[in-house]
Structure 1
């Protein structure tokens, strides 16, 4: 085990030294609090901002933040507009066919339904989800009628204006919305989806992936990742 750990550390140090002078661009959506959002100063903020900055510090990477709409976030990674996706993206087999993922930096976050009534029909009703998410895929196969929207805010608006009976999304995103709006509530059972959230990288960047993997592992090992997860209340801890 010690040899494995030392080999991983050596690879991470070697890769980080090679990239230390280059800018590593971190792509996020900036519209999914508390994971990522734009604060009042116009800067990327949230759990993933704090996490990304810490990972870059540990890996000795010179990082810059880039925002990108969710529906094109994978294509724009592949085309080189940025180098890493850090946007609450669940690890799935389908996505892994196009890009590579680091190890997960949160366990699977349960998904939940948000509605304006407890007796909403979740199995046969109209359910909103953000396009291109694991929740949209789940609804499409559930028998309910799926309506997709480009942004998380639009899915909530669809419930409020009666366009959808409920929305399915990460529970960590929906719970603060329900807490702040007396007309909205979490309904039905939680839904377990995905394999946790990881960083997305191009398949042509194995050294960067190894460097980020080592940084994530170091945060798991010293407990700082669990502390950050608890601070932002984005998922269960490891």
Structure 2
């Protein structure tokens, strides 16, 4: 009986070790082209392709987990997954709560989109909850209208709830192009954030070091820039 118990304990320990080597990659799955769910029901997009390559270079086994944006940091801290790759800009406020790798996407512009070039950017502005764009709108004195998902912010402009939406320009470009003139960019681009990085718990220093090294290797050999151009076009900001 003791031998059976010891064997079971050994198996449990082995399973625990295997589980510990699987890194759970958290993403929203609703912010194309950064991340989205494809027709097969799988996580896809720039961050899926990048994340898989980073895991390969870091010699880690990874699996993908989706989570709503508004609880994506709390659920990282509670252990539901081990990283966040979800178009998350590096900001001092977030850096007080979680840690970040070096950026895998350079600082890029945010932009306003509306149904008219004469839209009032001091009026009602839609933005996704918990984003740097929402914080910026609140600081400008405009009326902030927050939504849980990016698609809802676009719909708010289309149905007249909001005068404009403020979001990452890379997210907005394909939406404007596919709107057949219904949506237009308004005003000047707005530089926000310190680039996009992978979020981790502050205690996971070894994991951060592995991903930092993998990101740096992709910068050094040019493959990260190639991936940026593949998903965001030749005119996107590069390292």
Normalising by structure 2, report the TM-score: 0.90
1:64 paired residue number: 63
Q: Distance in 1 between matches of 2:151 and 2:211?
A: 30
Aligned 8 A contact 1:27 1:67 in 2: yes
Structure 2 unpaired stretches of 5+? 1-16
Q: Distance in 2 between matches of 1:28 and 1:197?
A: 13
Report the number of matched residues.
Answer: 220
1:165 paired residue number: 163
Q: Distance in 1 between matches of 2:120 and 2:204?
A: 45
What's the Cα RMSD here? 1.3
Aligned 8 A contact 1:31 1:38 in 2: yes
2:153 paired residue number: 155
**Does residue 1:237 correspond to 2:238, yes or no?**
yes
Q: Distance in 2 between matches of 1:57 and 1:21?
A: 16
Aligned 8 A contact 1:20 1:62 in 2: no
Q: Say which SS state the counterpart of residue 105 (structure 1) adopts.
A: coil
1:8 paired residue number: none
2:77 paired residue number: 78
Q: Distance in 1 between matches of 2:19 and 2:149?
A: 34
Aligned 8 A contact 1:127 1:164 in 2: yes
Q: Distance in 2 between matches of 1:45 and 1:89?
A: 16
Q: Distance in 1 between matches of 2:204 and 2:129?
A: 27
After TM superposition, where is structure 1 displaced by more than 3 Å over at least 4 residues in a row?
18-21
Larger Rg: 2
Normalising by structure 1, report the TM-score: 0.90
2:125 paired residue number: 127
Q: Distance in 1 between matches of 2:228 and 2:35?
A: 13
Q: Say which SS state the counterpart of residue 129 (structure 1) adopts.
A: strand
The alpha carbon displacement at 1:137 in A equals 0.1
The alpha carbon displacement at 1:19 in A equals 8.6
